[in-house]
Amino acid sequence: MADVIDVMIVDDHPVFRQGLRNVLAAQEGLQVVAEAANGETAIEKAEAIRPDVVIMDINLPGLNGLQATRELKERCPHTQVIMLTAYDDEEQIYHAIRAGASAYHAKDVRPELLIGVIRQVHEGHYVVDDTLLDEEGIRDWLLKKLKRFGGGIFEGDEEFLSPLTSREMEILELVVQGMSNRKIAYHLGISHQTVKNHMTAILRKLGATGRTEAAVSALRRGWIPLRGEHGEAGET
């Protein structure tokens, strides 16, 4: 029997939460383990319960869904977030994925489609515009949207930036080119563990939740030129 996927629902409308809970409860292999009506409570519960998937509304009281997702992913990196919201537009999707979400859907999504998305993000995939993407696919999608939308997600995020060392900048440029940690190690003549240590420092300094966000952050700040073609993306 397949593992059960633990789901948390975050929405400030109790009727919507109950309706979604009923839909998920009828599905084999899914269980709702928690609910939250605002971003702050969602972060606290996620940290305590560690759900597999969080279904998050964007328009929340207090912390909005983007801010809550960013904080939640920092504390619970293995929890996948699906944005389920009334605001279905391309720029909002871009910001949601940059904040750490793995999928984005309007609230009128068909139940059977949402169930499929939950299972896909639990497997480590991304779902954007009803398209299934892997890590390389979402990186390329973000880079294309960066040309159009640019900018940051949150006001004032520059003040949290710590300068990178020359070695960290060198590694980050290779990440943007699509190299895996192992390829970077071979290219620079250093150990795989050393690259992983540098990547940990880069993510911490940039406040990024993953390689993709760090690469996009460097590109939008103009640290690394945006190239037309990138190298192959391998496994970390």
Would you state the pLDDT for residue 54? 98
123/179 same-domain check: no
Give the confidence band of 204 by pLDDT, cuts at 50, 70, 90.
confident
Q: How confident is the model at residue 163 (pLDDT cuts 50, 70, 90)?
A: low
Q: Is 112 exposed, middle or buried (0-12, 13-18, 19+ CB in 10 A)?
A: exposed
Per the domain annotation, does 226 fall within a domain?
no
pLDDT above 60: residue 33: yes
- The answer to the question of residue 103 being in a domain is yes
Burial class (CB in 10 A: 0-12, 13-18, 19+), 128: buried
Query: Which residues span the domain enclosing 175?
Result: 160-220
| CA–CA separation, 220 and 174 (whole Å) | 16
Residue 94 inside a domain? The answer is yes
- Rounded to an integer, the average pLDDT of 180-187 is 93
The most confident of 54-58, 148-152, 215-219, by mean pLDDT: 54-58
Proportion of the chain above pLDDT 90, given as a percent: 47
13 shares its domain with 120: yes
Same domain, 60 and 123: yes
CB 194 within 8 A of CB 185: yes
Which tops the pLDDT comparison, 178 or 61? 178
Structural domains counted in the chain:
2
| Residue 222 predicted with pLDDT over 60 | no
Q: pTM higher than 0.75, yes or no?
A: no
**Do residue 15 and residue 116 come from a single domain?**
yes
Query: Does residue 182 lie within any of the structural domains?
Result: yes
d(CA 53, CA 143): 25
- Is position 37 within any domain? yes
Model confidence at 41, in pLDDT bands (50, 70, 90)?
A: very high
Summarised one tens digit per residue, pLDDT across range 67-116 is 889 899 989 999 999 998 776 677 778 878 888 999 998 888 899 999 99
Q: Are residues 47 and 86 in the same domain?
A: yes
Q: How does the average pLDDT of the chain come out, rounded?
A: 83
Residues 126 and 216 in one domain: no
Identify whether residues 11 and 118 lie together within a single domain.
yes
- Decide if 151 is inside a domain: no
129 & 164 share domain: no
Assigned domain for 209 exists: yes
What CATH number should be reported for the domain holding residue 212? 1.10.10.10
* pLDDT at residue 229 in the model: 38
**Is there a domain that residue 13 lies in?**
yes
Residue-level pLDDT at 66: 84
Same domain for 166 and 127: no
Write out the DSSP string of 184-228. HHHHHT--HHHHHHHHHHHHHHHT-SSHHHHHHHHHHTTSSPPPS
- Residue 223's pLDDT is 64
Tens-digit pLDDT profile for residues 109-155: 899 999 999 999 999 999 998 899 998 888 888 888 876 765 544 44
Domain check: are 187 and 113 in the same one? no
pLDDT of 135 reads: 86
pLDDT of res. 130? 85
Residue 38 · residue 44 · CB < 8 Å: no
Q: What is the pLDDT of residue 59?
A: 79
CATH at 117? 3.40.50.2300
Nearest to 127 by CA among 172, 96, 151: 96
Average pLDDT for residues 43-72, to the nearest whole number?
A: 90
Which is higher by pLDDT, 85 or 25?
25
Instruction: Clarify whether residues 93 and 201 are in a common domain.
Output: no
Q: 128 with 216, same domain?
A: no
For the beta carbon of residue 83, count every other beta carbon within 10 angstroms.
Answer: 27
